[in-house]
Amino acid sequence: MSSLAKIYNRRKISFKKGKGSYLYSSNGKKYLDFVQGIAVNSLGHANPYLIDAIKKQSKKVWHVSNAFLIPEGEKLAKKLTEKTFADYVFFQNSGAEATEAAIKVARRYFYSIGKPNKYRIICIKNSFHGRTIAAISASGSKKMTEGFGPKAPGFDHFEFGNHKQMKKLINKNTAAIMVETIMGEGGIKIIPNWCIKELRKICNKKGILLILDEVQCGVGRSGKFFAFEDAKIKPDIVPIAKGIGGGFPIGAVLMSKKVAKGMTPGTHGSTFGGNPLAMSVGNAVLDQILNKGFLPKVRKLSNYFHSELNKIQKQFPSIIKEVRGVGYLIGLQLLFDQTKFIQQLLDNKLLTIRAAENVIRILPPLNVKKSEIDIALSIIKKVCYNYKI
């Protein structure tokens, strides 16, 4: 009998080691891991470069308080700001903390310019921003908020794609619009570039902030460092997490100089956030992902993956409704519940994970090999062939 709280319905499978795209189960089976901790292990399992970084740092210093200078964190923040829209970064340990901080930064900005009544955040109904009280309130999903007492006030919701409804929600109390550039848990739903552009315009016009939650789709997963890059706009605040730590828990909120003004000493904090051990891993992850040629290769190979998946979709239109996503944030939307299909992929040694709307999420490491993609494709095809609807 497990003593772990029953918050998860766990698969009865555990792993004794991993290497690159593969996981080895305790009972001696080898699985192609296209879950990678849910878009977390961006460079695969047991990456030698990351092992080296954590080993080296672990012998020097693991943790010091943010009351002192942390050069490894300075370095990572510098890299992130040089490569992106952001002027400042603050580190946390998870996605929920990063989105929570994003909300705080937005509200605090308006407070600091003498507009404390501008605190409401407009979000997409049933989006995902994490599991803290504020984050579940931001999502507005009944499944996540039910039974947890009063929701955090100050969140308004519109249905995905309902622009009219969204515009109607903006009023004098609105501080920001916060959306996932690509909805991950929600079923790999992309907000198109023209929409992101439009959001930016609306925010400018109304004097409110744009928060793009890139916790799942950011840090190279889309083939660009940020999924919003092709929209050619600058958001005000971007929380990231999952991929940046390559498996080590790191969250970060990136912000422009303008909005950072409100975040003065004492207004926010984190005991663990940005400690030297985490930061040395984050630096190593970014070294790889920002390497010239790394992201172009992600784009090239992932395009191949998508086009092959689309061929399979055309071959099995009574099973697969649609191939969704971009880069290595891929969704196979089935025409029916995906549970059995995911189990059959697993029986054939391919690990995938569900998302909303009957979607099977496929999340290979960003350095996946073409030969591994081909193996996944043949397993998916095989399961389609043998699938009894």
- Under the criterion CB under 6 A, does residue 327 sit at the interface with ligand PLP? no
Sketch the per residue contact string, 166 through 185, with ligand PLP: x for CB under 6 A, - otherwise: --------------x---xx
Q: Which of 21, 216, 256, 275 binds ligand PLP (CB under 6 A)?
A: 216
Query: Both tokens of residue 376?
Result: 């996944």
Candidate list 118, 120, 129, 361; residue touching ligand PLP; CB under 6 A: 129
Q: Could you write out the DSSP letters of every residue in 33-54?
A: ESSHHHHT-TT-BT-HHHHHHH
CB of 142 to ligand PLP, least distance (A): 18
Q: Smallest distance, Å, CB 218 to ligand PLP?
A: 9
99 is an interface residue for ligand PLP by CB under 6 A: yes
CA distances from 162 to 140, 165, 206, 281 (A): 16, 6, 18, 40
CB of 158 to ligand PLP, least distance (A): 17
Q: Smallest distance from the beta carbon of 1 to ligand PLP, in angstroms?
A: 26
Shorter beta-carbon distance to ligand PLP: residue 84 or 380: 84
SS (H, E, C) 115-129: CCCCCEEEEECCCCC
Q: Which stretch binds ligand PLP (CB under 6 A): 51-59, 211-219, 326-334, 348-356?
A: 211-219
Based on the shown chain and the rule CB under 6 A, indicate whether residue 273 belongs to the binding site for ligand PLP.
Answer: no
Site for ligand PLP in 16-35 (CB under 6 A): none
H runs (alpha helix) in the chain? 36-39, 48-58, 71-83, 95-112, 133-139, 142-145, 163-169, 193-206, 257-260, 276-289, 294-315, 339-347, 370-386
**Quick one: 130 or 365, whose CB is closer to ligand PLP?**
130
Match 């039910």 to its residue by tokens: 146
**Residue 130 near ligand PLP by CB under 6 A:** yes
Residue 51 CB, shortest distance to ligand PLP, in Å, is: 22
Helices 294-315/370-386 angle, 10° precision: 20
**Residue 151 neighbours by CB under 8 Å, 6+ apart:** 133, 136, 137, 145
Residue (of 25, 35, 27, 30) closest to 247 by Cα position: 35
- For residue 228, state whether it binds ligand PLP (rule: CB under 6 A): no
What are the residues whose beta carbons fall under 8 Å from the beta carbon of 8, sequence distance 6 or more? none
The residue within the footprint of ligand PLP, chosen from 211, 241, 263, 379 (CB under 6 A), is 241
Q: Which residues pair with 211 in a beta bridge?
A: 178, 237
Is the distance from CB of 184 to CB of 129 less than 8 angstroms? no
Inter-residue contact 84 to 225 (CB < 8 Å): yes
324 is an interface residue for ligand PLP by CB under 6 A:
no
The contact pattern for ligand PLP, residues 183-202, with x = CB under 6 A and - = no contact, is -xx-----------------
276 contributes a contact to ligand PLP by CB under 6 A:
no
Is there binding between residue 255 and ligand PLP (CB under 6 A)? no
Nearest residue to ligand PLP, by Cβ distance, number only: 95
- Dig out the tokens for 99 from the structure: 């989105």
- Of 216 and 222, nearer to ligand PLP (C-beta) is 216
Residue 107 touching ligand PLP (CB under 6 A) = no
Binding residues for ligand PLP, per CB under 6 A?
A: 94-96, 99, 128-130, 180, 184-185, 213, 215-216, 241-242
